[in-house]
Amino acid sequence: MKTLLSCSLVLLMASHSYAQPKTSAFFMIGNYASPNWEKLAFDLTNGAKTMTYSYAANERGHTLQKLGTRMINGQKGVVVKIPGTAKTYVIVPNRAGKQLLMMSEDGTYRKRFPLGYEGPVDGRGTFCATCANEPKDAFALVDSFVR
């Protein structure tokens, strides 16, 4: 009986540790080895929401300022601005394509960002318990920014 109770407790603790909420997701063109990579990151830390746009020439990136939401072809997107610039952008989720479309409102910038993966590759690397690597989790996180 004692062994059964101990095993149950271990299983309960293990299942709880894997049930951490997904608080970060990223969508990326290329990878860090690519000379022209670009990345959109979404983070939720202690209730604070942060969207970041970074690229090869500026790895630290820019924190995007949310201006509101807008419907684009029947999809609700988030309107953002890079502080210090006049241009505004709309980021629209594309669940079927597992990507985000980011476009400038003046039409000069339009790119698709595929869902990124954070974790081990070929058995090497560290597992990220809070990263939204699955489309369902990633888009649920993005949706919280679009509301």
**Full DSSP string of 111-127:** EEEEBP--S-BTTBS--
Amino acid at 131: C
Gap between the Cα atoms of 9 and 27, Å rounded: 37
| Domain spans of the chain, in order of start | 26-146
What pLDDT score was predicted for residue 18?
53
What pLDDT score was predicted for residue 70?
96
The neighbour count for residue 136, using CB atoms within 10 Å, is 10
pTM exceeds 0.85: no
Residue 6 has pLDDT above 50, yes or no: no
Gap between the Cα atoms of 89 and 107, Å rounded: 9
Instruction: Calculate ∠ Cα 98-104-107, nearest 5°.
Output: 110
**Using CA atoms in the order 118, 80, 101, 120, what is the torsion angle rounded to 10 degrees?**
0
pLDDT tens sequence across 96-109: 999 999 999 999 99
